[in-house]
Structure 1
Amino acid sequence: MTGLLTERLGDVVDAYLGEHEAELLDLTARLIALDSQIPPYGDERAVAAFLLETLSSLDPDELEVVGPHPSRPSILARLRGTGGGRSLMLNGHIDTKPVGEARAEWRTDPFTATVVDGDLYGLGANDMKGAVAAMIMAARAVRAAGAPLRGDLVLGLVADEEAGAQHGSRYVAPLVRDVDAVLIGEPSGWTEDWQGIHLVSRGVCGFRIVVRGTQMHSSLSDRLPSVNASLKLAGLLSRIGTELAVPFTPHPLGGVGPTLNAGVLIQGGTYFGVVPGRAEFACDLRTVPGQTQDDVAAALEAWLAACRAEDPELEVDYAFEPGLEWVPWCELVPDHALVDATRRASQDVLGRTPPLSVFPGATDAPWYAAAGIPTLPSFGPGMLTSAHGPNEFVSVRSLHEAARIYARTVLDFCQ
């Protein structure tokens, strides 16, 4: 496909998407209305059923539901090209983080998409049901344009990203065939839309620090020796952030390193009248290329050994969190054809090319990369800043830009 033809088809998909802007917002709103919080539910059946019906209108050449259990469905839809070209998967997850303890802080109903001053509010608007809707509309635009793609366009709409992808992309990726690259639509800004084309996603290492004490009648704590597990925990919790040393090399794209969030979960004690005999806190470590789980284990063992040496009463150990013990980091080479196509599409739509960057969080990317498919970890509408908290939103403008960027990237890459 010549550059001139690509440009002409780009104008055609732009025109189609301009005529169907209301449809994109409606599709996003309908996805937000479907509860797919992970946790507490761990069940994407309702949103998957809606997407199956929606994707049927594309008349895909293949449409299948895959997953390890009927309650954890992911969807793969393929629009076949004429053959001989590169195939691209647009990937988005269909689950969300829970509303959680911040429910009272929402200014709108989390499950009713509400537009305020050009921003669309709702749970998953930003992370990442808006991007999923934009991908579907991009596929419709490419189909409507009659673009003579040689490669296939695949939509991968997956479950369970928010809880580690065991039932989602980690299961789906080995089943994917005849795909040359994957573009994931995670929100690519943190202070503004389209802040970077993220070639790297950090990994996740989840672990718990478990402290044991003396469970006994609390009225006797001034008369008999006892160890309050919660107090010992408090000391460790206040120290781990500055003392745990996991080796790393700053990444060339911005000198990015790991982050540790301690105490993302805290548990301890039995009830009033009882000296706490057990307490634990969970930690969320975001890793960077080059780090390994063995590095984390060695650092934890060294730190805890030093803490025990300082305090003979301290009985403490650690455990990696099942399912989140190691979500790998992922990296795409800067000169990959998908990066080039994404940059050209961005220039056409945004009038600028966002810099190459490191995504702050983890994505589905490592599981596709492990299956041998080069993956761009994050380029999508919205800002990560509003994800996982109250009043999640995505700008309406970025949603429309996303649909255009995805359509143009497909035209370019699948030529």
Structure 2
Amino acid sequence: MTTRSDSPPSESLRDRIAAELTLARKRSVRLTEAVDDDDLVRQHSPIMSPLVWDLAHVGNQEELWLVRDVGGREPVRRDIDDLYDAFKHPRRDRPALPLLGPAEARRYVSTVRDKVFDLLDGIRFDGSRLVADGFAFGMIAQHEQQHDETMLATHQLRAGPPVLAAPAPPAAAVQVAGEVLIPAGRFDMGTSTDPWALDNERPGHPVELPAYAIDAAPVTNAAYLAFVADGGYADPRWWSEPGWQHRCSAGLTAPMHWRPDGAGWGYTRFGRFAPLVPDEPVVHVSFYEAEAYAAWAGRRLPTEAEWEKAARWDPVSGRSRRYPWGDEDPTPEHANLGQRHLAPAPVGAYPAGASPLGVHQLVGDVWEWTASPFLGYPGFAAFPYREYSEVFFGSGYRVLRGGSFGTDPVACRGTFRNWDLPIRRQIFSGFRCARDVRPDETA
């Protein structure tokens, strides 16, 4: 992020927007240029789009919101709006559409970006709510980074030789084990002040919680392997009724991408097979699998409010911070974000990112399933369009928190909410457990 402390606020904001848009586009280019054109147009899984669809879709959203709506400029390609409307065409049907080819998609997103930077040079960040504080630009930067993470997940599902590479995450710097007691009391959940927070993070509101205990770190491969070895996938006692039905119908026997490796287990990650890393957070598990493990362990998944209090509440000041470590933006010392690595880091790798009460790796590494359905907060108002959040509200989706190694910092903060169907595990999803506490434990 580039800002100049001696420049006017609007210039600093302009610099920040340009930097975030450029960073997102560099990542989109890296993910799409890593494969040939045949791979770009191929559908690697029926639950994912072809990579070329994601590329043109981010350009189309940028054109709709920034070029046309904010800028009031003439359309670049009005004829493709229907093709890249995510609500009109399920992912499984997108390969059959007359999509832009790789070269044409690249030219299109480049043309749109040129027009956006031209618009950015002269815009005033006042007036409408869409423009104030650069919200629409921040929304588009986040949107592209979210699709970059989706494209990264598509790469994980892709067959063939490896095409992505990154250095290994740092080793554990401290030992982290056990659980942390979160005292009873009120905290402020969500936000009404973060200028780029999306509608489902708003408004900020007080929440009263009883005392509870939450794992100091995400559940690791070693811990989850004990569940597998104990026959957890064959025992319906640990599964909810819909979870057990799905486990049986889908034939689940272990997390996605795990397979036996001699006497042990290994997993395939971005085309490379390796033994399990015992102290790495387990990844690619569904809500149902996380729920079953928690029951087997005599615990439960945290609610969304419990997760957020553990991540944001400062017991000294009593206020909710933007991140577990404070209000400052993440650095590589705080969290595993931004596709710097292609795996979660071992538990204990980021002591600088711990919360004041000693809860580690709440941000980055793996998205964490919570027990909560995806619903609007009290006073929720859709903005700037219902299809971002509101159409997904209900008991069918579960909330995930915290971001993964594939999440960019611009799309990750203590209030950020992700959601997915409870059967999904192609996402970079893990979890931690929680439990109720007895009155004598809080005395």
State if a TM-score over 0.5 links the two structures: no
TM, length-normalised to structure 1: 0.31
> Relative contact order, CA 8 A, sep 6+: which one is greater?
1
TM, length-normalised to structure 2: 0.29
More strand, by proportion: 1
